[in-house]
Chain A
């Protein structure tokens, strides 16, 4: 049986609940929780409406702390890798937000694959988005042209930063607190400001050998 950092209990109809959860809802069916992860609370999925076979995945030993919000539309998908620490992060996905292993995302960060683009700037199309939301029960905004966001391995995102659609953040980079990221960030960059600018580059010290050694220590 799957061993998580929290206990999962099932009601007679098979719905999964987190033990001692303050929010009295079941977890969605289309999520994958890997071993030793910490899903925290079902409240994080209060606006999760993904209809994908697997709309959310939380990797080995990763944690959702301070109840993050995983908002997803019917085509939305949020993938969180292994050893990822999320502290009160807001995700808004209508296509894909992909966080690779060993990332840290601090409090108040927003990561979204959905915002208005040049193609949706017309008044009519913007009004359509709001009218369609008003017709649905759950009132989720289905954006027309979401663009996937990829956060590569070992990226650290500082508090209250905003990551906008279509962005790929390269491996090992640091996104400074309160930065707003509108374009791709190269690997091992330190970025700050609005819009985010590279202020320096780091030595790529996170070698595969180092990673093997650290992961071996955990197993022993």
Chain B
């Protein structure tokens, strides 16, 4: 096996160009990082447009692998100690707060907004503003509502967590779940839309 093909985790340091990274731009400056937090590529920040100070706050001992941390201009993401984010996409217009000891599997998506208005008239206007000929005027209002994931939550493959949701401590989100409303602490949920799984007793 070629050792060069293995994932090379490196300490995440604000403003640094990672070594041997296929992605040729540096890590953003407006982030705060605790000790022993590592990343595999700065491609994680390809859509990190936050101008906040900081726009991202990471605790200690976090592993970020093949993930995307995307923010709009005023977006903010916070991730707690020992959390392990692998192949997930977190997209924040406003705020996504993730606790300690949270695990996210591949294909997980977390969004804190719809990104476009629901109303057909406003939506038609938005399609023109975001087109190649759009004037850079203010876009129509759309719903933004922060997401909170409390400590010790485990989230399975391809699960999706939508705007405004709080997931209580220790909850388990089964693979493929579509989470549209709050999940109580300790619950196990699955399905689209997700429902609480009833515990089976022998």
Contacts and interface: CB of A to CB of B under 8 A. Distances in A.
Physical interaction between A and B: yes
Contacts of B119: 202-203, 205
Nearest to A60: B133
B123 A154 contact: yes
Interface in B112-155: 116, 118-128, 130-135
B178 interface: yes
Contacts of B120: 154, 172, 188, 202-206
A85 interface: yes
B192 interface: yes
A103 B134 contact: no
B2 to A, nearest CB: 24
B132 A36 contact: yes
A135 interface: no
Contact of B178 (A61, A178, A205): A178
B193 interface: yes
B119 to A, nearest CB: 5
B127 A215 contact: no
Interface of chain A: mostly helix, strand, loop or mixed: loop
Interface string A171-212: 010100110000000001010111000000011111100110
A62 interface: yes
A130 interface: no
B135 A85 contact: no
A49 interface: no
B127 A154 contact: yes
A102 B127 contact: yes
Interface size class of A (residues with CB under 8 A): 35 or more
B93 to A, nearest CB: 15
B124 A210 contact: yes
Contact of B123 (A5, A63, A206): A206
A83 B118 contact: no
A214 interface: yes
A136 B178 CA distance: 40
B109 interface: yes
A30 to B, nearest CB: 23
Given A102-B124, A154-B124, A193-B193, A5 B132 contact: yes
Interface in B74-133: 109, 116, 118-128, 130-133
A70 interface: no
A174 B178 CA distance: 17
Given A36-B133, A102-B124, A202-B120, 15 more contacts: A63-B131, A83-B128, A104-B116, A104-B123, A104-B126, A154-B127, A160-B160, A178-B160, A178-B178, A178-B192, A193-B193, A202-B119, A205-B119, A210-B125, A218-B128
Interface of B: 109, 116, 118-128, 130-135, 160, 162, 178, 192-193
6 contacts: A83-B127, A193-B193, A210-B121, A210-B124, A218-B128, A218-B133
